[in-house]
Amino acid sequence: MNSNVLQTPIVYLKGVGPNRAETLQSELGIHTYQDLINLFPNRYIDKTQYYKIGQLQRTSSEVQIVGKIVNIKTVEQKRGKRLVAKFIDDTGEMELVWFRGQKWIRENLKLNIPYVIFGKVNWFNGSFSMPHPEMELWEDHEKGLKIYMQPVYPSTEKLANKGITNRVTNKLIQQLFLETKGRFKETLSPGLINELSLISKGEALFNIHFPKNQELLAKAQFRLKFEELFYIQIQLISKNLMHKQKIKGFNFEKVGTLFKTFYEHHLPFELTNAQKRVIKEIRSDLGSNAQMNRLLQGDVGSGKTIVALMTMLLAIDNGYQACLMAPTEILANQHFMGIKELLGDIGVNIALLTGSVKKTARKIIHEQLENGELHILIGTHALLEDKVEYKNLGLAIVDEQHRFGVAQRAKLWHKNDVPPHILVMTATPIPRTLAMSLYGDLDISTIDELPPGRKPIKTVHRYDSNRLKVFQFIRDEIKKGRQVYVVYPLIQESEALDYKDLMDGYESIARDFPMPDYQISIVHGKMKPADKDYEMERFVKGETQIMVATTVIEVGVNVPNASVMIIESAERFGLSQLHQLRGRVGRGADQSFCILMTGHKLSSDSKTRLETMVGTNDGFQIAEVDLKLRGPGDLMGTQQSGVLNLKIADIVKDNDILKTARYHALKILREDISLQKHPVILHAYTQLVKYKNIWNYIS
């Protein structure tokens, strides 16, 4: 069938009309025939089986039963009446119950004649009952074509109010199959269909909407999930391969004096094998004549900064400048101080550019950047301003990439005629599944081991009733000269409540840890930035032993002497947040501890999160659990939630199908990047892109 028929506006489908078309568009985003055919059911009601009353389980599921009504009575209840019929088959009896429309129902029910009933079964007072069953005489049922699984489609309140019920949606899709005669153009090559034993596109679409049985439904789901993930991978991988072919990058041929001097004389510790491997991957990119586009992920404290610095030195050795962009001033400051300290007197000129840099200092930075005296510029979004011009930017490093939009990264590109090499860093480990889909067009390097001498942080879960013991433990640690964080949740909707929690907590700590023996810092969102910095500074210098704070300390505060992290109401934090907070301790040589405090009432998700934290320090394992609990949209934050715009596949549950799809997409594109030998795939892909039915990925 001509695929353009599927682009017909939905208003022209028989049974739709202007009003329904408008509702379908606003509620479900259905504009064309194509959109309607891709409205896949959420679940199915299985009417392929008939149950006996004796087989029923107390699961409150929907079932279909054949039997007879033997008597009917009206029962008085507190409010009004209910109509109750006794329904039997050869294995037992149950009740059918109606609370409305009783007069009409009573007049129409026939006694002692076989009926097929369908509905939700409840277990109450020792017997089964079914409220408001769907009923049909057995002889009518046998004549009809009712023996299949009923699809249940996504719906909204507004759709229901406008009369677009599940039945109506189902009718419209039947109408669409009639109009198109169910002929749909094949979108996968014969080779793939044979190799994976897939059913055809037409069969898959028919069986996703009107499956005869579970087996056909499973085949249809596999085929459609595979196809969806396959084309996303085709898009990402071809982008990556084309990028390498088309976009030439600066060639950093030599490993020069700065790199060697730093490696031999300034490295504070031996590099881990993971760091060495990653530097090797980066070096091969930088010498390949193509522009590097690499994501560097590593857990909190795994030593990404050293890798970033050594990559910058490679750029400078080859006569280029480098910049490092961080999402917040605190983080940019910290990178600046850390890198300055690591470099020592090696002869590299480095500057910091953030919103609070004074005008005169800015002017000097701009001048030195343009004449090439400045080698490394570290900063926040300020690096993207048009006034910031480089003599020859060869490398741009973006830290915590998910906090920057695509447009911001693109700005870095256009600072030169030839785009700089790009290294994106993140301390939020991204599960493999998600990395394949979100960053499929970036090459990925992973630092998966911690530097030697780092002791794993001991994590425990304690209930509020153990608070006195926890306070005693804090006293003992402070006696040893250590410092302690106490963090309270901050959830925007309940800011007033959170503020009260924080203040109550602060007061109870101040009572238990009185001055002059103890000094306490407090930091929260309502303070002026200058006051925050002052309190932070006191803690960093060791003038205060306890820092009471909301989550403002989540990113990048480095106090090696702080060895205890207490997280209050830990059940209110997400897993990745708990993991990031825990990473604030364990930065020195001493044993560090993380104590998760909660009340006794915990949901099962909260329990899973706490058990995961106590059980492992591995950020990647934690990210996998987090992905299962929260799903991909939440995990990546709002800008990236587009990853959820999948019609049928689920990145978490269909992980295996995703791997298969990626494998086949890679295999095809490596042999045939222009897809000339795969005309069916080329045509389908072109259509997808043309009609925006493929989600355009970030980056």
Q: What secondary structure does DSSP assign to 132-194, as a single string?
A: S-EEEEHHHHHHTT--SEEEE----HHHHHTT--HHHHHHHHHHHHHHHTT-----S-HHHHH
Q: What is the mean pLDDT of residues 83-101?
A: 93
pLDDT at position 332 is 87
Q: What mean pLDDT is predicted for residues 677-681?
A: 95
- With H, G, I as helix, E, B as strand and everything else as coil, classify residue 663: helix
How confident is the model over 684-692, as a mean pLDDT? 83
Does residue 195 register a pLDDT over 90? Answer: yes
Mean pLDDT of the chain: 85
Share of the chain above pLDDT 70, in %: 90
Q: Which are the contacts of 395, defined by CB distance < 8 A and separation ≥ 6?
A: 311, 312, 314, 315, 320, 321, 322, 323, 420, 421, 422, 423
- Domains of the chain are 49-147 (2.40.50.140), 257-286+302-426 (3.40.50.300), 458-616 (3.40.50.300)
- Assess whether pLDDT exceeds 80 at residue 417: no
Task: Kindly report which listed range (148-152, 359-363, 398-402) carries the lowest average pLDDT score.
Answer: 398-402
What are the C-alpha distances in Å from 164 to residues 158, 321, 462, 619? Answer: 9, 61, 51, 46
Tell me what the mean pLDDT of segment 323-340 comes to.
87
State residue 533's pLDDT score.
80
Least confident of 91-95, 122-126, 273-277, 293-297: 122-126
Identify the three-state secondary structure at position 485: strand
Separation of alpha carbons 69 and 91, rounded Å: 14
CA distance 135 to 153: 22
Q: Strands 62-76 and 81-89, how do they pair?
A: antiparallel
Q: How far is CA 208 from the centre of its chain?
A: 26
Report whether 417 contacts 441 (CB < 8 A). Answer: no
pLDDT at residue 257, as a whole number: 92
**pLDDT digits over 44-72, tens only?**
887 878 899 998 887 767 889 999 999 99
pLDDT of residue 637: 42
- Nearest 5°: phi and psi at 214? -60, -35
For residue range 579-589, what is the model confidence (pLDDT) as tens digits?
888 888 887 77
Rounded distance between C-alpha atoms, residue 229 and residue 252, angstroms: 36
pLDDT digits (tens, 9 = 90+) for 612-646: 999 988 887 888 888 778 765 544 443 343 344 67
Report the SS3 class of residue 333: helix
| Residues of the chain by 3-state class (helix, strand, coil), percent to 5 | 45, 20, 35
In 3-state terms, what secondary structure has residue 643? helix
**Which of 321-335, 593-607, 672-686 is least confident?**
321-335
What residue spans of 587-677 are helical by DSSP H? 604-615, 619-635, 655-671
For residue range 129-141, what is the model confidence (pLDDT) as tens digits? 999 998 989 988 8
Among the ranges given (186-200, 428-442, 520-534), the one the predictor scored with the smallest mean pLDDT:
428-442
Torsions phi, psi for 293 (to 5 deg): -140, 85
How far apart CA 296 and CA 424 sit, in angstroms, is 6
User: Which residues face 120 on adjacent strands?
Assistant: 62
Q: Supply 571's token pair.
A: 């059940």
What mean pLDDT is predicted for residues 540-567? 80
Whole-prediction pTM: 0.67
Cis status of the peptide bond prior to 420, with omega within 30 of 0: no
Gap between the Cα atoms of 579 and 621, Å rounded? 11
Do residues 549 and 522 lie in contact, with contact meaning Cβ atoms separated by under 8 Å? Answer: yes
